[in-house]
Amino acid sequence: MKLWKLLGIAAFAGVAASGVAVARNQRRRAAYTPDEIRDRLHARLAEADSAK
């Protein structure tokens, strides 16, 4: 019985940690301005073209 409680608590902690990581990543992405996103996409495209 204690094993199941421990597994349940571990699962809950894992879900909570995943939620925190997703929220942090979303806030980081939302902080970009449209110009910054465009510049980054252009840089990635140039990098991909040079890799060919």
Please give the tally of structural domains in the chain: 1
- Prediction pTM value: 0.49
CA 14 – CA 8 distance, rounded (Å): 10
Task: Give me the domain span that covers residue 9.
Answer: 2-51
Helix (H) or strand (E) holding 52: none
Condensed to tens digits (0 to 9), the pLDDT of residues 17-52 reads: 999 999 988 888 888 888 999 999 999 999 998 877
Handedness of CA 41, 42, 46, 47 (dihedral sign): negative
pLDDT band at 1 (very low <50, low <70, confident <90, very high): confident
Smallest Cα–Cα separation from 36: which of 28, 25, 24, 26?
A: 28
